Chains A and B, each alone.
Chain A
Amino acid sequence: MKRALLELLSGFGSLLTGMRITLQQFFKPPVTVHYPHESLKMPARYRGHILLVRDPATGKSVCIACKSCEKACPSDCIVVEGIKREGDKRKSVTDFKLDFTRCSLCGSCVEVCPVDALEFSKAYNLASTSKEAFYQIDLVKRVEARDP
């Protein structure tokens, strides 16, 4: 009898403790991010699809079209073409297509690049109504369109 009553009291006490804790949470500000209106900044090491690094001096890519990334890519989703322009020491890239539908974001291309011309973008909420938007991403056009 006595034990049952003590159990009852301690049980009721624990219910009140639970209610106190939830009430404390009630008055604290929300912790969630109100998604479509605000979104989290991706961390520095986030791997989005790759982008060509823009050379701030020329506004163009620093890629030398060596095709190391094309060879390193395990999914064959990179196609690079380049020409050697008159007066330049190295080749420069004319065409850099990424097939993002097959990319597994392994990062081999970024690792292998001898001139550090590739980087990961921070774009994570990609959406499109057509496959073409991700099938042949023209990164050369992107680098020229990017903000300095």
Chain B
Amino acid sequence: MTIPEPYRLFFYLFSTMAFVGLNAAYLVWVERKGAARFQRRPGPTEVGPAGLLQPIADALKLLSKQVLVPPEADRTLFRLAPVMVMAPALMCLATLPYSERLGARDLNLGLVLVFAFGSINVMAVMLGGWASRNKYAIISAARIVSQNVAYEIPMLLTVITMLMITGTMNLREIVEQQAGGFWGGFWNWNICKLTANPLMPVTFVIFFICMLAETNRAPFDMAEAESELVAGAFTEYAGMGFGVFFMAEYANILVGCSLATILFFGGWQSPIGMLPSGHLWFLVKLYALIFTVVWVRWTFPRTQFYRLLNLSWKLLIPLALFILVLTSAMLKLF
């Protein structure tokens, strides 16, 4: 079924926004419940059954608060930053294929677009921190820039590795390459393609670590290190300004995990060829990865800043380069 063009645009705009909104709201719930379970607590229980209405209550609270702009702040940039952090995440979702036929736009350069918009996010947080005119916010902005510069490199190196294997930047085609027909299954997924590169699982781990760092998730949440920087770049934001930053964090996790699903775990392909593939498999893989992100957050303490940079420059970049060289050699030889 193909919807005629202008309606198609509105339909996808609406559903992408709804998808991001629902996910951002309920991933906060998942995060809080997950945190509680990892720490052997019950978590939110009071608002609705099992605290399921908690995100709605939180959203109402944030929406009803006054949007304050500090008097010394740069008003325009201050108000622009939350929009700039949310918009790229929404744009990235337009390229993602959820199943063979479900996806907003089938772009030939989907992968490039995701990374192009993904890096705007960093600039937006930097602008927000800078415009706040708050020392914690500025320190946080400086940190986030150096952190993202450091982690963009190994991430893109792993993506180049994947590109050399797949030979296309179209996300739908990347997933279709990982199909195996009736007798196929998870061994057709890129993460198991050891013939292309025997270090494929390592490539995924590098990608995953960089994804955590790019989305500023613990243990790399240097930008929002509560114990040192109050709330980092978000210190001066009140009400929904903060709420949008918060939503954008989860939207970025959503994009990152979707991308990992597409690049490494075969997107909508079912793990056993005999079972039908479809968008449900995509969601299962996506939420399994998101659960892992929550799991990582509540397992590891925050790293120190120099360790974070050391990890990237001394370990991930050389390793990613080595994998890149190895993959190109393997592709040439076999």
Contact = CB atoms under 8 A, between A and B. Distances in A.
B40 interface: yes
B152 to A, nearest CB: 22
A38 to B, nearest CB: 11
A3 interface: no
Interface string B91-122: 00000000000000000000000000000000
Interface in B40-80: 40-42, 45
Contacts of A18: 299-300
Contacts of A41: none
Interface in A1-60: 8, 12, 15, 18-19, 21-23, 25-26, 28-32, 34
Nearest to A7: B315
B299 A28 contact: no
Nearest to A22: B299
A25 B42 contact: no
Contacts of A30: 36-37, 40-42
Contacts of B300: 15, 18
Nearest to B34: A26
B296 interface: yes
Interface of B: 34, 36-42, 45, 205, 295-296, 298-300, 315
Nearest to A31: B40
Given A8-B315, A34-B45, A19 B295 contact: yes
Contacts, number: 36
A25 B38 contact: yes
Contact of A19 (B37, B40, B205, B299): B299
Interface of A: 8, 12, 15, 18-19, 21-23, 25-26, 28-32, 34
A19 B296 contact: yes
Contact of B42 (A8, A21, A28, A34): A34
Nearest to A36: B46
7 contacts: A12-B205, A18-B300, A19-B295, A19-B296, A25-B39, A30-B36, A30-B41
Given A8-B315, A34-B45, A22 B298 contact: yes
A22 B295 CA distance: 8
A15 B295 CA distance: 12
A26 B41 contact: no
B215 to A, nearest CB: 18
Contacts of B205: 12
Q: 8 nearest interchain CB pairs?
A: A22-B299, A31-B40, A30-B42, A26-B37, A18-B299, A32-B41, A30-B40, A22-B38
Contacts of A21: 299
Contacts of A31: 40-41
A32 B40 contact: yes
A19 B298 CA distance: 9
Nearest to A19: B299
Contacts of A22: 38, 295, 298-299
Nearest to B36: A30
Contacts of B295: 19, 22-23, 26
Contacts of B298: 22
Nearest to B314: A4
B118 to A, nearest CB: 25
A81 B36 CA distance: 54
Contacts of B42: 30, 32, 34
A28 B315 CA distance: 36
